[in-house]
Chain A
Amino acid sequence: MRSDGKQRAPWGLKLAAGLGLAFMHLPIALIFVYAFTTEDKSYQWPPPGFTLKWLEVTWNRPDVWEALKLSLQTATISTLIAMVLGTLCAAAVSRTKFFGRETISLLVILPIALPGIITGIALRSAFSIADIPFSIWTIILGHATFCVVVVYNNAVARFRRTSGSLVEASMDLGANSFQTFRHVILPNIGTALLAGGMLAFALSFDEVIVTTFTAGQQSTLPIWMLEELVRPRQRPVTNVVAMVVVLVTVLPILAAYYLTRDGDQVAGSGK
């Protein structure tokens, strides 16, 4: 009856799926057009002309560089912390059934399940109670907290796919816990960890909601953009920065995809 429908999708479905995808991508594509517009006072469409001038202007802006540097530092350190914590958690949860493992999973997921503003304001008020002055470390504290889950999700999925008998086989063949970790566990979860790390990096690199509460007077790149969004002063520069941000985040995402593509397509559901 539906033998031909099995291979071919109904055209209505195709159209809806195609439109949906277009809806997700066209706005981002638009950014690339605006980065080269000659119009600098409004968001006029179609652009009256195209120029490369704004790339140069942006390149010579020290405030953009400062913000970029802070963002990269924060993302790198937060990612490293999250990788350690997330892997430990995933290993514990997937290797053994212990009392409270559901609680641990919940605890890891909570920082992204609850709205970011709650994490942000909670951290901010905690800093003020504990008299901790704002610094790059206050930003990292927040970022690492919600990045853990991304690494955790990737690692848990890989652990689940990695047969438990591999560890036993290694021990059976004479390897102690540390040798087993080095020769069997790490090579098997390595790519998943790397993928988790890349996603964590992307997540931290463009986080803004929590950061506004934990940054004080410093500007990460997203904070810089937010200020431009609320009070536009340099529209053309913002356009270029937006384009650069898209390019910078796309790379680790694609890399993460290629690292995990054979099977565990869960990388994204962690965000």
Chain B
Amino acid sequence: MTTAVSFAKVSRHFGAVRAVDNVDLSIAEGEFFAMLGPSGSGKTTCLRLIAGFEQPTSGHIEIFGTTVEHVPPYRRNVNTVFQDYALFPHMNIIDNVAYGLMIRGMNKADRHAAANEALELVALPGYGERRPGQLSGGQRQRVALARALVNKPKVLLLDEPLGALDLKLREQMQEELKILQRKLGITFVFVTHDQGEALSMADRVAVFNDGKIQQIGSPQDIYQRPESRFVADFVGSSNVLEPGFVKQLTGKESYASLRPEAIRIVSADGHSATVTGSSYLGGTTRISLALGDMRIGALIPADQAVPENGTTVQISWQENDLHLMEGAQ
């Protein structure tokens, strides 16, 4: 399989801040790759390094085997969908979409035909004459997508592409993006702080924190087998069990993660925990528990009775739901 993007010991420092710190990364051709992390974790800087808006302080970046450290953004066959879409306000939609082709010297008829095709691809046919200001957020996002795709980039970069949309639109776009990516076969790299988005769309996810990659893997890997406390906590707020407690259960002194939905309330033979609070989430109820010194959360189905605050309950889980985190602090 061809490697689309590869990072070898790439760092980007801003003064004393290590925005990206010694990152190794390899993205395969045709992959839908997510960079997930809190703000300031370095994920966006990584994206900008691929686009060429930032240059690495040290390390080596290749796009399809070509070294790109000294290649400016306008010579990289990589296009970006910006977080604020960055549509040119002084141009109508068709000229926005055709901008890249115009710069490359394509004649007006050809580039407008190509742009119209791209607009159809993103389900906005006939919007060419409008101005960006006349479109809704979701429509603008599609235009931004069309503007990038019309250039047939080798890699498409998406910077928090759905961040500004409301929930319903976001879910719809998640599906559409995925279908589009399968159809075009272009490598998609997208940055998000929303773990649900990363898990539902990506083939592989890289979890960033403090400029470093904490874990790379399939959504299932990341969600079910977090390798560090950070990943366990950030991706779907797993419970992290203390080494002392884990040692009693497994004999190994190590942190372990336990998903809230893996915890069941049983009538007997479980661990005693005290209920400290609960919140109704619709399909489930989340209850907070004090298990020894630890605070943990459990999700119980809505059809089950919710125990009162202050009562002591017995909780249990399957042994293989407990995931040891090797080497995690």
- The residues of A with any CB-CB pair to B shorter than 8 Å are 163, 165-166, 168-176, 179, 183-184, 187-188
Partner of A173, one of B52, B90, B100: B100
User: Cβ of B86 < 8 Å from any Cβ of A?
Assistant: yes
Contacts of B53 in A (CB 8 A): 168, 171-172
Q: Once the chains bind, are A188 and B89 in contact (CB under 8 Å)? A: yes
Q: Once the chains bind, are A168 and B103 in contact (CB under 8 Å)? A: no
Contacts of A171 in B (CB 8 A): 52-53, 72-74
Partner of A169, one of B72, B86, B102: B86
Bound complex: CA A166 to CA B73 (Å): 13
Q: A168-B80, A188-B89 are in contact. List 18 more A-B contacts (CB 8 A).
A: A165-B82, A166-B88, A168-B51, A168-B53, A168-B82, A168-B86, A169-B86, A171-B72, A171-B74, A172-B73, A173-B74, A173-B99, A174-B104, A175-B74, A179-B103, A184-B88, A187-B88, A187-B90
In the complex where A165-B84, A169-B82 touch, is A174 in contact with B100 (Cβ < 8 A)?
yes
Bound complex: CA A176 to CA B86 (Å): 17
Closest to A164 in B: B86
User: Cβ of B79 < 8 Å from any Cβ of A?
Assistant: yes
In the complex where A165-B82, A166-B86 touch, is A173 in contact with B72 (Cβ < 8 A)?
no
For window 63-118 of B, CB contacts with A under 8 Å fall at 72-75, 78-80, 82-84, 86-91, 99-100, 102-104
- Where chain A touches its partner, the secondary structure class is helix
Bound complex: CA A136 to CA B86 (Å): 46
In the complex where A176-B72, A187-B90, A188-B90 touch, is A170 in contact with B99 (Cβ < 8 A)?
yes
Contacts of B286 in A (CB 8 A): none
Bound complex: CA A173 to CA B100 (Å): 5
For window 136-162 of B, CB contacts with A under 8 Å fall at 147-148, 151
Closest to B78 in A: A172
Q: Once the chains bind, are B51 and A173 in contact (CB under 8 Å)? A: no
Indicate the size class of the contact surface on chain B: 20 to 34
Q: How far in angstroms is the closest Cβ of chain B from A144? A: 29
Bound complex: CA A176 to CA B76 (Å): 11
Q: Once the chains bind, are A163 and B100 in contact (CB under 8 Å)? A: no
Most buried by B among A168, A176, A187: A168
Bound complex: CA A248 to CA B313 (Å): 86
Contacts of A174 in B (CB 8 A): 74-75, 100, 103-104, 151
- The residues of B with any CB-CB pair to A shorter than 8 Å are 51-53, 72-75, 78-80, 82-84, 86-91, 99-100, 102-104, 147-148, 151
Contacts of A168 in B (CB 8 A): 51, 53, 73, 80, 82, 86
Bound complex: CA A171 to CA B102 (Å): 13
Bound complex: CA A176 to CA B312 (Å): 67
Q: How far in angstroms is the closest Cβ of chain A from B323? A: 40
Contacts of B151 in A (CB 8 A): 173-174
Q: How far in angstroms is the closest Cβ of chain B from A190? A: 9
Contacts of B80 in A (CB 8 A): 168-169, 172
Most buried by B among A168, A169, A187, A188: A169
Contacts of B103 in A (CB 8 A): 173-175, 179, 183
Q: Nearest 9 pairs between A and B by C-beta? A: A173-B100, A169-B86, A165-B86, A187-B90, A171-B73, A174-B103, A175-B103, A172-B80, A171-B74
Contacts of A173 in B (CB 8 A): 74, 79, 99-100, 103, 147-148, 151
Most buried by A among B75, B80, B86, B147: B86
Bound complex: CA A174 to CA B71 (Å): 12
List 25 contacting pairs A-B, 8 Å CB cutoff, sorted by A.
A163-B84, A168-B53, A168-B80, A169-B86, A171-B53, A171-B73, A172-B52, A172-B73, A172-B78, A172-B79, A172-B80, A172-B148, A173-B79, A173-B147, A173-B148, A173-B151, A174-B100, A174-B104, A175-B74, A179-B74, A179-B103, A183-B99, A187-B88, A187-B90, A188-B90
Q: How far in angstroms is the closest Cβ of chain A from B238? A: 35
Q: How far in angstroms is the closest Cβ of chain B from A263? A: 12
Contacts of B82 in A (CB 8 A): 165, 168-169
Contacts of B84 in A (CB 8 A): 163, 165
Q: How far in angstroms is the closest Cβ of chain A from B147? A: 7
Contacts of A179 in B (CB 8 A): 74, 103
Q: Once the chains bind, are B74 and A172 in contact (CB under 8 Å)? A: yes
Bound complex: CA A19 to CA B177 (Å): 60
Q: How far in angstroms is the closest Cβ of chain B from A168? A: 5
Contacts of B73 in A (CB 8 A): 168, 171-172
Contacts of B104 in A (CB 8 A): 174
Contacts of A183 in B (CB 8 A): 99, 102-103
Q: Once the chains bind, are B88 and A169 in contact (CB under 8 Å)? A: yes
Q: How far in angstroms is the closest Cβ of chain A from B2? A: 23
Bound complex: CA A173 to CA B88 (Å): 12
Bound complex: CA A166 to CA B89 (Å): 9
Q: How far in angstroms is the closest Cβ of chain A from B33? A: 18
Closest to B104 in A: A174
Contacts of B91 in A (CB 8 A): 187
Q: How far in angstroms is the closest Cβ of chain B from A72? A: 31
Q: Once the chains bind, are B74 and A163 in contact (CB under 8 Å)? A: no
Contacts of A172 in B (CB 8 A): 51-53, 73-74, 78-80, 148
Closest to A169 in B: B86
Bound complex: CA A175 to CA B101 (Å): 10
Closest to A168 in B: B53
Contacts of B78 in A (CB 8 A): 172
Contacts of B86 in A (CB 8 A): 163, 165-166, 168-169
Contacts of A169 in B (CB 8 A): 80, 82, 86-88
